[in-house]
A and B are shown apart, each in its own frame.
Chain A
Amino acid sequence: MEGLAVKALLYSVWALSGVSLAGLLLTREMGAPAAACALTLFPLFLYFDSRGRLVKIPRLENGLILLFFAGSLARFFYLKESFLVVVAEFLILFLLLKCAFKKDRKDLFQMIVLSFFVLLSASTLALDFTFLFGFAAYILAATWTLSLYTITDGPGRQELGPAEEKALFRHLRRVSWMSLSLALGFALGIFIFFPRLSLAVFQGAVLGPARRTGFTEKVTLEKSGEIFRDPSVVMRVEVRPAEAAEKWGGKIRGRALSRFDGREWSAGGGEPRRIVKDAYRSRVLKTQKIVRYNYRVLEPDLAALKSELGMELSSGSYLRQKIYLESLDSKAIFAAPWAVSVTAALPRLDISPGLALSRADLSGERTAYEALSLVERPAESRLARKSRQDVAELRFLDRGPRKAASRPLFPSVMPLDEPETAENLEIPDDPALDQGMRRIRDLAGSIAAREDDPYSKAKKIERYLQVNYSYTLDIKGMESRNPVEDFLFSSREGHCEYFASAMALMLRMEGVPARVATGFIVDEKNPAGDYYVVRSQDAHAWVEAYMGGMWLEFDPTPRARRAAGGKPSFLGTVKQRIEYLNFLWNAHVLGYDMDSQRNFAGSVRRGSSRLSSNIDGKVMRLKLGALRAFRPEPSRIQAPKIPVLLILPVLALIVFRKYLKQFIRYITGVYNNRAEKTTNFYKEFLKIMAGKGMAIKSGETPKEFAARIACMDFGRAAGDTLNFLTDSFYRTRYAGENLTEGEKRMVISALILFKETSGKIINIHLK
């Protein structure tokens, strides 16, 4: 038994370690070396351990642990790598080290503890639903392992036969399943009901890794060869209503870049508007209570929009977005252009002059929030007229102070003042670029006529670029001092940043304030969940031009749209389903917060009040029916009506009386089949005697049996007890008597005597 249990313990510890490692590797946050080590060394060490070929070298083991620890410290403090990833990889190496040497009980216990920390590490890094499988598998393996570890502990253990060994493992399995259900039940209960306070006392101390995305805070025009299209998901967006979604151009805006030096676009100057909504609860600990706030970003002047642009806004003009943002290396808050409000669990929101939204919390961790954007745009004719009207009133910087063009249509945004206008009209002032800029200006002049209104100019330039230039991600050739010039006149191909830069520059040269906006373009919809998936490869840049008192979007990049319609392949469908599961995981598990708890509680309350009102209604109807039954109707002679309320209890009593009695008997311990129960002891006695080779013969009465074995040595030694048993059987079976408590105890002691005795017993006692 000893060998089998210890072997089972060893393999279960291996299994536990394997499950926890698998859970950590499935997070896909581990570096390639750590993952490779785990995948190759773990099975190798398992193989050698199963063959008994591992040895124990304590000094080497301890030395390596110290080495790994020192390495991890260096990675964290000097290389500034992510704390959680460093810890996770250290745990992997530590666990592999324990696997590499021969193990005693202490080592097995250390592996059990390490595997727990590996699971904990996985919980801090996991981003998709595969964590759930590892979690459940870990609970099962842990209960099994700990149970085995406990029962193999200590000296003086009983010896078990093969049948008992089987029974032991069967019972251990039952215990494991029971513990799994209890642990999962508690995990679910805690998850649903434990209040999400997010104390954030040590906020910022423990951060996870942030994804690198195609989205950047700056746009640098450089020839970097082929750009890798990264399919990792950046965010998921649910949009409502469908009417607004049709008007939406599919753009998710992140940044507005106004400053251009000829190669690089960056955010403009000006202090961002800060909206702070929280307050420190305690100055000492600086605890914050994070709740959802609604931040007002833009206040459209509805009357002005209607009067000047003929825009009649309705609910279908506003696009509601629910955005599930992954952990990014950016603090941008993304939303469709013209974001009116953002509802998020953020203590502060910064709004730059370019209407770029940023969160102020320390981490770029994943978050979910809602945004409301105005997607309705004026008709082109109204826009053209409005922009022409504004031109007449615009003054360029070099002609003196600017006068406000027209009544601002978004009063909450500061009107385009002089510095901002200048910034968005600025052409790079580098003598080396002068020649190139002249060429670009000439080209802009040739595309757009001087008399054209700004809107028409913008549309012409947009169209020109879309038709005459091609899209590529592979920018070849030598670096140019003026990339825009090179794009427009030499290569004639590029990606969205080139197209946007060229258009923005040309518009500025035509006197239209313009800037480059960066974000994502969305066109991948997951039909399973009815949401849009935004990936890193969907990063995009476009142009925003100021005309008619508003910033309007223009996209000069020729876009190859995905083929509309067509059924996805089987693999595609499977991928969509998996992606949907991940979305549900993100939305309802990782994103489960206090609002979710309130909603859940509210829905439970509504459901229960609906149920109770249904019941009340039914009871009321019943009562009314009963009352009507009592109401006299003197105009007719009626047969007497038996009140319904009296019939039901009587019926219930009649029907359930049988079950009621059984229930009472069960509670008070009175069993129906008394005869069988009270004579079971004699059956047990016969079984014991048969085991000793003294079986009762067919047709032999208990008294005859007792007399027969009384002649034998065994019977002589325990003659009185034998007679007592036989008499007790006759009394209970045929005379209907009950044994007293003392007699029952004597019966049990007699059975033990017969089972255990070798004939030299003096006394026997029970509790």
Chain B
Amino acid sequence: MRTFRERLRRLLKPPRTLRFTRFGAAFTFMTVGMGLAAMNTGNNLVYLVFGMMLGFITASGVVSELCLRNLEAGWLLPAESFAGAPAVARLVVRNGGRKTPSLGIRASARAEGKGLPGMSFEARFILIPAGSSSRADLEFVPKRRGEYALRGVRFETEFPFGFFVKGVELEPGDAGTILAYPALRPIREPRRSPAAGDKGKPRHLAGQGDSFREIRDFFHGDNPRHISWKSTARFSKLMVRETEREAERRTLLVMGREEDWSGLPTDELEEAVSFAASLFRKRMGEGYAAGFFGPGIRLEPSRAPDQAARVLAYLARFEPRNGREDPDDESALVEIGRHSREETEDILEQWRASR
């Protein structure tokens, strides 16, 4: 809730923009003409019409102000978005007023990133009742990977009469960012791919896997999806199907030196980054516990659900710079050395080979 001083300040100087529509400009011009005609002819009924037109202009201002007064906006951003692929962001507009609805609202926003082509969002709301919210799902396609900062949302309305377009821009604040991951592409691998049937070896321990281990009683905390209903019916109590944990297959994707990347031309750099992202996703999808080493990032192989997100986020922001020395280069090499050669994959090498 705003303090009293903030409210007073806002009351005295509401931040609004106003511009005429064509119809509004013509109407205002006609109003002035009507006033002159009334003065010239002395016809009192023309004075009435003149007053009516002024009243319309005033009502337009009052009603449009009431529509815009208590609007708030929030974003629900997609979990993932990739360059070149459509994604949907949800704009939620809330009318914080207690009595007055907002009608004919046009909401627009822009997302911009440093050196990135901007993205525009626009949605129209016919009615946002007082104390309620409305939402609009807005599709967007980030042209390039990177971080797009959402600017403040701008609300405009021509309601009620279409004379003026009155607008208000909400303070950007922490509106949020859209992180566009590198584009994913199908990749051709010159190197190994998992042979058919080459699955992880079971370890005779309970865990995630395909091999059956046992049927046992249901305990509190077990996933209800693992309930075996046939056994439950047979034994008249809840039973779950337990599987054996399989040994993880591991791989470590290595980016190499930053200067190797910075030397690439822009389009090749993007292609290479896309390749890195696609390869990592592929490895995760194949069931590998994948790790990622690169300038400023060290992720040990893991099958954690957020592993891919961390790597993709890194790659989305990756901007190699010439001459930058990673002080941890040496220790990185040592850590890489701990992994077997079979587990390590050089991204650049694979990319070049795949071209």
Answer yes or no: are A and B bound together in one complex.
yes
> Does A184 sit within 8 A of B, measured CB to CB?
yes
Measured CA separation A146–B124 after assembly (Å): 18
* Smallest CB separation, A359 vs chain B (Å): 15
Q: State the CA gap A749–B173 with chains docked (Å).
A: 14
| A178 and B99 alpha carbons, distance in the complex (Å) | 14
Contact of A589 among B44, B55, B56 (CB under 8 A): B44
Given contacts A760-B79, A765-B74, contact A199 B40 (CB under 8 A): yes
* Residue pair B134, A158 in contact (C-beta under 8 Å): yes
Q: Is B127 an interface residue (CB 8 A)?
A: yes
| Residues in A184-239 with C-beta less than 8 Å from chain B | 184-191, 194, 196-203, 206
Q: Is B135 an interface residue (CB 8 A)?
A: yes
Q: Which residue of B lies closest to A206 (CB)?
A: B41
Residues of A within 8 A of B43 (CB): 123-124
A275 to B347, CA, bound (A): 108
Given contacts A126-B45, A160-B126, A767-B175, contact A756 B90 (CB under 8 A): yes
Tell whether, in the assembled complex, residue B52 and residue A186 are in contact, meaning their CB atoms are under 8 Å apart.
yes
Q: Which residue, B51, B103, B171, B172, has most C-beta atoms of chain A within 10 A?
A: B51
| B49 on interface, CB distance cutoff 8 Å | yes
Interface string of B45-61 (1 = CB under 8 A from A): 11111111011101100
Given known A-B contacts A119-B49, A143-B59, A190-B54, A156 and B124 have beta carbons under 8 A apart: yes
Query: In the complex, A142→B192 CA distance in Å?
Result: 75
CA distance A764 to B72 in the complex (A): 14
User: Do A200 and B42 touch across chains, with their CB atoms under 8 A apart?
Assistant: yes
Which of B159-167, B277-285, B319-327 lines the interface with chain A?
B159-167
Measured CB to CB, the closest approach of chain A to B101, in angstroms, equals 5
When A150-B161, A151-B104 are in contact, do A767 and B74 touch as well, CB less than 8 Å?
Answer: yes
Q: Which residues of A contact B162 (CB under 8 A)?
A: 146, 149-150, 153
Please indicate the chain B residues that have their CB under 8 angstroms from the CB of A245 in the complex.
none
A592 within 8 A of B: yes
A566 to chain B, nearest CB (A): 37
Chain B, interface residues (CB within 8 Å), range: 35 or more
> In the complex, what residues of A have CB within 8 A of residue B101's CB?
167, 171
Main secondary structure of the interface of A (DSSP, over half): helix
- Mark A135-158 against chain B: 1 for CB-CB distance below 8 A, else 0: 100010011001101110111111
Q: Using known A-B contacts A188-B51, A669-B7, A756-B92, determine if residue A178 contacts B59 with beta carbons closer than 8 Å.
A: yes
Query: Which one, B63, B77, B106, B135, contacts A154 given CB within 8 A?
Result: B106
Give the CA-CA distance A667 to B5 in the complex, in Å.
11
Cross-chain contact B73 with A186 (CB below 8 angstroms) = no
Cα-based distance from A190 to B45 in the complex (angstroms): 11
Q: Chain A nearest CB: distance from B264 CB in Å?
A: 30
Whole-angstrom CA separation of A284 from B294 in the bound complex: 87
0 or 1 for each of B125-137: is its CB under 8 Å from A? (1 = yes): 1110100011110
| A767 with B48: CB separation less than 8 A | no
B353 at the interface (CB under 8 A from A): no
Check if A146 sits within 8 Å of B160, measured CB to CB.
yes
Contact of B124 among A139, A157, A171 (CB under 8 A): A157
Instruction: Pick 20 A–B contacts, CB within 8 A, sort by A.
Output: A123-B46, A123-B48, A123-B49, A135-B49, A147-B160, A150-B162, A156-B124, A158-B125, A182-B59, A186-B55, A190-B50, A191-B48, A194-B38, A198-B40, A198-B41, A589-B44, A592-B44, A762-B77, A765-B174, A767-B170
Q: A223: shortest Cβ distance to chain B, in Å? A: 42
Q: Mark A672-683, 1 if CB is under 8 A from B, else 0.
A: 000000000000
Q: Mark B271-298, 1 if CB is under 8 A from A, else 0.
A: 0000000000000000000000000000
Interchain CB contact under 8 A, B160 and A156: no
A168-B134 CB under 8 A given contacts A592-B44, A762-B79: no
B275 to A: closest C-beta gap in Å: 25
In the complex, A246 has a CB within 8 A of chain B: no
Closest to A739 in B: B1
In the complex the two chains form, is A157's CB within 8 Å of B76's CB?
A: no
B residues near A198, Cβ cutoff 8 Å: 39-42
Cβ of B152 within 8 Å of any chain A Cβ, yes or no, is yes
Please list the 10 inter-chain residue pairs (A to B) with the smallest Cβ-Cβ separation, ordered nearest first: A183-B55, A190-B51, A186-B55, A187-B51, A765-B176, A123-B45, A179-B59, A198-B42, A182-B59, A146-B161
Q: Which chain B residues border A763 with CB–CB below 8 Å?
A: 77, 176
- Selected from A168, A187, A668, the residue in CB contact (under 8 A) with B127 is A168
Instruction: Contact check, A196 vs B56: say whether CB atoms are below 8 A apart.
Output: no
Give the contacts of A101-156 with B (CB-CB under 8 A). Answer: 109, 119-120, 123-124, 126, 131, 135, 139, 142-143, 146-147, 149-151, 153-156
Asked whether A764 and B42 contact (CB < 8 A) given A157-B126, A171-B103, A179-B56, the answer is no
The answer for the CA separation of A202 and B152 in the assembled complex, in Å, is: 53
Q: With CB as the reference atom, state the residue of chain A lying closest to B134.
A: A158
Which A residue's beta carbon lies closest to that of B125? A158
Task: Give the docked Cα–Cα distance between A667 and B62 (Å).
Answer: 22
Residue of B nearest to A154 (CB): B124
Contact with A201, one of B23, B40, B62, B63 (Cβ below 8 angstroms): B40
B86 within 8 A of A: no
Known contacts: A149-B162, A191-B47, A589-B44. The answer to whether A164 contacts B129 by CB under 8 A is: yes
Q: Which residues of B contact A189 (CB under 8 A)?
A: 51
Q: Does residue B4 face the partner (Cβ distance < 8 Å to A)?
A: yes
Contacting pair A744 B74 (CB below 8 A):
no
Q: Is the CB of B55 within 8 A of A187?
A: yes
User: Contacting B123 at CB < 8 Å: which of A156, A589, A762?
Assistant: A156
- Indicate if B122 sits at the interface (CB-CB under 8 A): yes
Does A765 contact B175, Cβ atoms closer than 8 Å?
yes
